[in-house]
Structure 1
Amino acid sequence: MIDIQDLEGKIIPEIIDLILEQKSNAFEIYIPKSTALFSSGREAIAIDYNKLAYAGHILQEISYNFSFERVGPDVHKSVLFNVETNDIEGLAKVLLEISFGYVNDCDDDLYEDITFDFDMYAEQYLSDVQSGKLAPCCKYYSDIAVEFFGEE
């Protein structure tokens, strides 16, 4: 099990070590969902689901087998993504990218060579899905993001 929140302050070699500790090519990856329907604003819920949709998309890109748990807007819990891959370095890079949407910051001196804006890429991803340029990997999450953005 890999929890994105555990990647705070980690760099690629440390993430690779964490992956290798799993001793498998099947990984359970938990990504935090910070909102819940009755305690969060609609825009916050939309952003949360957009980030989940994009995270799923980039995880699926490096996987040969991929699935995800469907967690509704009324539930507050981390989301499970199941990933099978032989590309350990690719998975480490994707996990680091995802961590910038949750626990790490490119402005931190530790990541001075990295210029990755997870939120911007997530916004572009949803735009590409809506325009038909991309088919959504996690349509469930993309649909919820669109629904909640649309009700603002």
Structure 2
Amino acid sequence: MAAPTALNKRGTKVHLDGYTFDSQKEADFYTRFVRDSELQYAIHPKFVLEPLKTLPRNERLKVPQYVYTPDFVVYNPAGRLFHVYDVKNSFGPYGISTDVKNRFKAFTRKYGIPVEAVVVRKHDFKVIAQGITKQRKPTQPLVCTNFQYDWIEATNL
């Protein structure tokens, strides 16, 4: 059994199809919905939200880069970002902390597409777009069985 990591304090890494997932829930989302979706996808891609910055008064001092690594990115047939997913245990503060919400907002500002928090269930997944002003309530998530939905329409705008 692998030791928990800083990102995954309570669980064990899951190795499947040459990928390493942070949890069994991530692996389940991959096997049930991502792998056979017939869409291009990336697992744990790194997005730089703010680059490494040197402080003006001392070139030896730097501010580290600020990155976000979503669990899954799904691309549309034209190769553009279609869905950016972060698998969570819940939509409440335990599942999505303030720090995580701020990272989602920074991603949305820079890349123009919200992060969709996902709660995986046995035959479907619940999803709420994060980092936008008009989002579904955690008590009324969108329930999906595939990626063929539009997050704009799903926000009831």
TM-score for both structures, normalised by structure 1: 0.26
TM-score for both structures, normalised by structure 2: 0.25
Rg (Cα) greater in structure: 2
Which has the larger share of strand? 2
Which has the larger share of helix? 1
